[in-house]
Structure 1
Amino acid sequence: MPHVAPHDGSAGFAARLVATAAAPLDPASADAPQVLHWPGRRLLVQRADTELAVRELDGDGTEIRFPAPWPRRYGSTAVSPTGDLAVFAGVHALRAVDATGAVRWEFRHACWSAAVCTRAHSSFAEYADDHHHGHADSGSAAFSPDGKLLWAHVRTLVGPRAEEEWLILDPADGRVLARAETTTVGSGSFHLPHPDPAYMGLTVLAGEEDSPVLWGHWDGATLTVQHFAEEILLGASPSGEHFLTTDTGQWSLYLHRAQDGAELRRLDGQVAVPPSSDEDDRVRWEFEAAFPYDDAAVVGTEDHGNVPRHWLVDPRAMTVRGRIEYPFSVAGPPRSAGPGTWYTVSEDGTRIHLWSLAHRG
């Protein structure tokens, strides 16, 4: 049976502040900073309308500014583990830009506003002032941890119909190595890299009831994809043996085996965590979390109060061990920052804080 926490103050686990880093860009004109991580490498990334800032979190703090081909509302970005190549996933194309600002390659695809646009636009200027393109759906992209593969969720036209595909490309030249239909109609998506370059996760945002998780495996010749209906990816364990999801209703956490996607255990939030106040009718798991240890995940619950509640979850038994206690107030959910760490973003968006469990050293 899941562990039932008797009250919020029980079984607290102290978080140790590992580091604080300033956001590269002004949060008033940029997205919130985020941490991208791979084995032995962490990057602080922040997107503004005209540029993408990428800074090393470890080492000498080298920073690169990539010129953006279109404003940030027109898509998302991916950055290579070495930090010297950025891919902008736009409304009509994937565009790879190197550290000098030069375009390495471009892969054009159908419009993410396909309901009103079936043209093969060749430049952003052709639709920069169009309302529908400015409010289009979007895909996403992500690099494998070795930097040798780029996974991308794109839209394609099959006759008069718009369909969606999951592609694997060679980031050196944009050549398509594999492709699979997603059978989705997404409004957005995000990837979850796995420690093993052969695996990748994709969450397609397709409405409250339909958002699926796709779990892909590429053996160098064949791309196989598993579908998990109405789930959202939260994190992969450092060893790569497991990944964690929640459902679109935020009722439960689900532990899956990465090798075959099988669900091993689940944790009902209603049973495991008490409501924060009388205003909360039930407990809802956050849509973001961290999996910093093979035997411990840090997961938040959505609450009406101003103080976030983050919980230490033991995936081996799918129990809540207790609440994370911080040395000062934090904002938002916990997010993955690599093995042994997670991060939070300050309420004003000017800093990120890296954390670890104090009792782990």
Structure 2
Amino acid sequence: MTGESPQKWEPVTTNGTIAVTNLHGQIDGLAVRFSRAGTEETPGVPSAVAQGAALIDLLNLRGHILGRVADYERAAELAERLVHIAPEDGTALLARARTRATLHRFAEAVADLGSAGRAGADEATLAAERAVVLQALGCYADAMALIDKVAERQSDFTTLGALAVLQAERGEVTEAEQLFDEARRHYRGTSPFPLAQLDFRRGVMWHREGDLGAAGSWYEAARHRVPDYAPALGHLAEVELLRGDPQTAVALLRPLTWTSDDPEYAGHLAAALHTSGRVHEAKQWRERAVAGYDELVLRHPEAYADHAADFWLTVGADAERGLHLATQNLAFRQTARAHALFQRAVLAQDRVAQAAP
């Protein structure tokens, strides 16, 4: 089975470049309003929480769209401040839960969701957030039960999209395809970001299935919707490299190394340059990726151990470090991908041992 061409059910949305510019403006404006909204010493606490929670959501969105770890970290810092201002406010606790889940601090995120529930947060929202955490941990049946519960109340774009992504991760490609289509039919917004994210996740599904044509088509659809969408560009570059076109991969990746602080793109650029025969330049980008991963693994091991492990097993060419990080990642979450990464690392280490004199 192959992926369907992204031609059906094309909703009209805001131009992606304009949307990114507007996102920057919204963040800057909210940051100013939040700073004026009040602290625990002033009467503006409810306003501060509302402004802060909105700002956190936008920072997390920009962090994903543009590949900015700094935005995730800023959102996490703001969330801690919000809970300090209003420790029993459900909105503040929910905002912190989201930032913790983004950085894969899942146990802490679940604790915050429990506290947010006791503080009166919306049950459907809490169920959706818990499903995200359970899915990330590989607890697919439990995640499905929660999403189904939410779907009983509303079968909208968000719920259908969540079901599509979950089925894709479970390997249920036929059902996922139907849900992806249905989600697109239910989209009623004008923002290009949700659709770009949905198309990107559809591309990831086909990428894992080994259908590079379908994967590339959906990554291109996401890129068409939001031209600066870093994950789509990065994954499209991977597809082009696998197709034997390192020059196109380099062209896709180089702009990302200017706008994103995620070392993944520097690592992929190093691989593409090396394949192109530009060994000296590849070495420079490899060193940049090494420095970036070393810092991120120290600051956020739960979120970046797997990416760092993959880097060391490929471009980094250090099987021992790859195995160490893959083992660390497996301790964080027992997903199929975590187990597969660990097995890759074990095999790589075995090959190194066999090659030793």
Q: Which has the higher helix share?
A: 2
Taking structure 2 as the reference length, the TM-score comes to 0.29
Taking structure 1 as the reference length, the TM-score comes to 0.28
Q: Which has the higher strand share?
A: 1
